[in-house]
A and B are shown apart, each in its own frame.
Chain A
Amino acid sequence: MTKISGGLLILLVLSACSSRYPAPVEDREVTTRVRVPANQDSEGVQVYSLQNPAVKQLTAQARVAERDGNLDQAGAFIERALRIEPRDPQLLQHMAEIKLQKADYQQALSFAVKSYDIGPRVGEICSRNWRTISVAREHLNDTDGANEAETRAGQCMNTRPKGL
């Protein structure tokens, strides 16, 4: 009996270890379904806002935390960066992607929408915005919304933002 329970305990401990070990970034949904396709979409149509060095530093720290699976920590770094640049679409989108990895789909959706609203609405970031919205909606069982967002992602490279 004790042997069995001992074995169970070891199994439990091992499974806990394996589940705590973060998946490599390149295997995560955020990479396969948002970042990589958006990057492929963009084909050189890039609109980057000029980031201040403090924001860059915090973004880099967030990336490291994200890679190591410390998503709360990554979120905290981005939140600090947002205190400096509250209207930086890149930061808002980065937060959306962190929330996506945390399976906090409602927040992922909110940050991606805000990033799109105040962002350039064109190019790679636009594609990441809509792809994040699509994945989040899918998880929130809004299939039609997800499909619509997917279509919008495809248009990021050929529509000019209105009113410009």
Chain B
Amino acid sequence: MARKANKTRPAKQKPVAKKTAAKKSVAKKPAAGKPVLLRRFLRALLLLSGVGIGLSLPWVIWLDIQVRSEFEGRLWDVPSRVYARPLSLYAGKSISRESLLVELKTAGYRQLKQASEPGSYSVKGDLFSINRRAFVFEDGAMPANRFLLQLGGDSIKTLSYDSGTGDPGLVRLDPAEIASIYPLHDEDRTLVSLREVPELLIMGLQAVEDRQYKHHHGVVLRSIARAFLANVKAGRAVQGGSTLTQQLVKNYFLSSERTLVRKANEAIMAVLLEWHYDKAQILEAYINEIYLGQHGRHAIHGFGRASEFYFDRPLRDLEPQQIALLVGMVRGASLYNPRRNPQRALQRRDQVLDIFGTTGLMSGDQIRTLKPLPLGVTDKPRSGGSRYPAFIDLVRRQLRRDYRETDLSSEGLRIFTTLAPSEQEYAQRAVSRGLKDLQQRGLPADLQSALVLADVASGEVRALVGDRVAGRNYFNRALDARRQIGSVIKPLVYLLALEHVNDYNLTTRVKDEPVSLRQADGSLWSPANYDHKSHGELPLIEALIQSYNQATVNVGLNIGVANLIRKIKQLGVATEIPALPATLLGAVELTPIEVTQMYQSLAAGGYSVPLRSVTAVLTPQGDLLSRYPLRLMPLDNREAVAVLNFALTRVVAQGTAKNLNELLGNRAVIAGKTGTTNERRDSWFVGYSRDRVAVSWVGLDDNRPAGVTGNNAAMRIWAGLFRKLPIEAVDLRMPDGANYWWVDIEQQALTDPSCPGAVQIPFIDGTEPRMSTKCLEKKNSKNRKSLWRKWFDDKN
């Protein structure tokens, strides 16, 4: 709709006629006794007009069909609004100052000296005064609300009412509008009904654009005649003379041509509209249809959206001078664009205020107080298009299961998502900076990356990055890049092993020895370790944390590739996976989001939850259409998952991911696994804290060797993100059916904490070692003796 961008209408003289508009001219009956000649002339004229009407009737019918279908159909094409998750604020919540500021900014909050209006905040030291806007959340409407927030360190110390006392408990910020899903014709509007439109706008529009509106039948012939004369006099089109109805028609069939035929068509359609619909319906349509600006390729239609676009507030909350500005812009949305031409817009606004004065809509005093006020337009529109195209892609895919694409782009739905703007910001930054950093370390400049961050317990996707460049989404790698996952698959092999309680526990000796297998094509497959050495017999936990290939294959062959594939499916991955021995080492192509789904189940202790990006969909009126509630799908053998989680924290503590602690500043116990594929084509890192699970991938789109490994690329990006997030240590308490024991791993025996080589590790009940170390036996006998002595002493 770019052609609308420069659409302006020439200044036109306002209709000032006081009398009712001229009625349709109809042939009057000839007076009796008129001369025969005149009678004949009139008869001929009647005949001619009859023929004329007969010929033009189909044309009028065609116009009627056109204008009615526009009026009834087009009005409902309203884009859906997509919201981020609303930020919940309460005393004790972990949030850094930077995150709070990012959240406020993305939600369109302005920093003022005093948070005097909804949608603004002020800061003094660590004390924030926030004026929350009124908003219809997914569970109901909340009024505007002013409150104080005191930060202390990286959390909210206190939350209080504006008076400084009392705790409001929980306050939600109205969420950032992160995208709109537009109809194909790229029109952006927020529908308003006539009863939510301020009286001043309704009256003001008529005062400025069409004072005869209440009385005419679509056209005012006198105005047209006056405009015609003025145009003839000037030798070009300088006056319009259109009624609101004509303007509405003109907006329906936007075209810059100004031919007589077009004008005539518009006039006929205006009359037809007035014939079919009443004044209130037409005015409501006008208020929702009129073109009021351009945002990229999206045309801003109607006062509802214009109010949000220019002032960042709903139409009903506009102040009189703001209404005047919008009314003034009807004449030329581009010419009087307050962001681009503020001076001209201000003049036009004041001119409109004067008209409000002369028509009695406002007193002179009121106008005098309003004129010195600034335009009050926000610097930038709050949203538009999509700031997070990769995430919105995920939202669309989730909604496509329940909604048709046309409904999404035309029903004005309000879509509540799970995106956390601050976390998304950090994720994108981690990717962009991380790749730049890798380039400086000599890796290819065209490296690409994907990063998915989700909430562990709820499976809600908090951030999603699919490209190194923010906002670019020609290929969404987070959802669509199918890449070999390499060693990221190994924890699942070991999970299956741990489920085989008769054969394995974390201390079981496994063989890291050369292995050769005949493949389906007859060739021999002999995987080597990363360091090209075999490490002999070693405890299972050691094989996992050092990510030894040969040991994994040996364990995997014992448990069976088919079982591994079944496990991956149980963890929520639908992709078909080939049943080959190489599958055991991750010769499986999955997308980053699939890997995230798989690991969410593990991070949540076996309480699998389908990843979600949408929590609810509401109608424009705020009625609930769908809710996507939290649904748990507990896996069997959760005690094996808990034991595996422990082992994965050791990968970070002492295994292939041990550099992570340094990158994160040793903040908390994290579980993770690195992954690298053949010839260093892909770098993966999967890691989780108690509350967040994230998967990062780095590689080249054409799958060339990229020189990347799990811990030199993807892990760095992962760390770049988690450095900015609150991190809670992974919960390592065991569920029912598993417990910690003090053991000596080398001896595969129970031991005492004070004995040399004692470590505490978890076992599924019944799999703990039966043997005891000599050291433990000695202690036990000593303890028994002392108990005996105690009993003896007590008796005496």
Contacts and interface: CB of A to CB of B under 8 A. Distances in A.
Interface residues of B, number: 34
B729 interface: no
Contacts of A53: 90-91, 167, 169-170
Contacts of B739: 162-163
A123 interface: no
Given A52-B92, A54-B88, A121 B631 contact: no
A118 B733 CA distance: 8
A39 interface: no
B456 interface: yes
B139 A87 contact: no
Contacts of A118: 605, 731, 733, 735
B634 A107 contact: no
Contacts of A58: 170
A30 B735 CA distance: 25
A57 B731 CA distance: 26
Most A-side CB within 10 Å, residue of B170, B455, B460: B170
B631 A73 contact: no
A54 B139 contact: no
Contact of A82 (B169, B457, B736): B457
B634 A110 contact: yes
Contacts of B733: 118
B457 A76 contact: no
Contact of A117 (B88, B91, B455, B735): B735
Contacts of B627: 72, 76
A162 B139 CA distance: 41
Interface in B629-664: 629-634, 638
Contacts of B458: 79, 82-83, 86
Dominant secondary structure of chain A at its interface with chain B: helix
A110 B736 contact: no
B138 interface: yes
A84 interface: yes
Contact of A57 (B169, B630, B638, B740): B169
B169 A86 contact: no
A108 B457 CA distance: 16
B691 interface: yes
A88 to B, nearest CB: 10
A80 interface: yes
Interface string B715-729: 000000000000000
A117 B630 contact: no
A113 interface: yes
Contacts of B92: 52
B622 to A, nearest CB: 14
Interface string A41-78: 00000000000111011100000000000001101110
A114 B601 CA distance: 13
B607 interface: yes
Nearest to B89: A54
Contacts of A110: 607, 632-634
B632 A107 contact: yes
A54 B170 contact: yes
Interface string A86-124: 110000000100000000000100110110111001000
B607 A77 contact: no
Q: What interface size band does chain A fall in?
A: 20 to 34
Interface string B191-223: 000000000000000000000000000000000
Candidate in A52, A75, A87, A121 with the most chain B CB atoms within 10 angstroms: A87
B626 to A, nearest CB: 11
Contacts of A77: 139
Interface in B595-636: 605, 607, 627, 629-634
B734 interface: yes
Contacts of A82: 457-458, 630
Interface in B652-694: 690-691
B139 A83 contact: no
Contacts of A54: 88, 90-91, 93, 169-170
A117 B605 contact: yes
B629 A86 contact: no
A116 B458 CA distance: 18
A67 to B, nearest CB: 16
Contacts of A162: 736, 739
B736 A121 contact: yes
B139 A73 contact: yes
B272 to A, nearest CB: 42
A132 B398 CA distance: 32
B607 A114 contact: yes
A74 B638 CA distance: 28
A118 B91 CA distance: 24
Closest 8 CB pairs of A and B: A54-B90, A86-B457, A54-B170, A110-B632, A163-B739, A117-B735, A57-B169, A53-B169
Interface of B: 88, 90-93, 138-139, 167, 169-170, 455-458, 460, 605, 607, 627, 629-634, 638, 690-691, 731, 733-736, 739-740
Given A76-B138, A95-B630, 19 more contacts: A52-B90, A52-B92, A54-B90, A54-B93, A58-B170, A72-B627, A73-B139, A76-B627, A79-B458, A84-B88, A84-B90, A87-B690, A107-B632, A116-B736, A117-B735, A162-B736, A162-B739, A163-B739, A163-B740
Interface of A: 52-54, 56-58, 72-73, 75-77, 79-80, 82-84, 86-87, 95, 107, 110-111, 113-114, 116-118, 121, 162-163
10 contacts: A54-B91, A72-B629, A79-B458, A86-B457, A86-B458, A107-B631, A111-B632, A117-B735, A162-B739, A163-B739
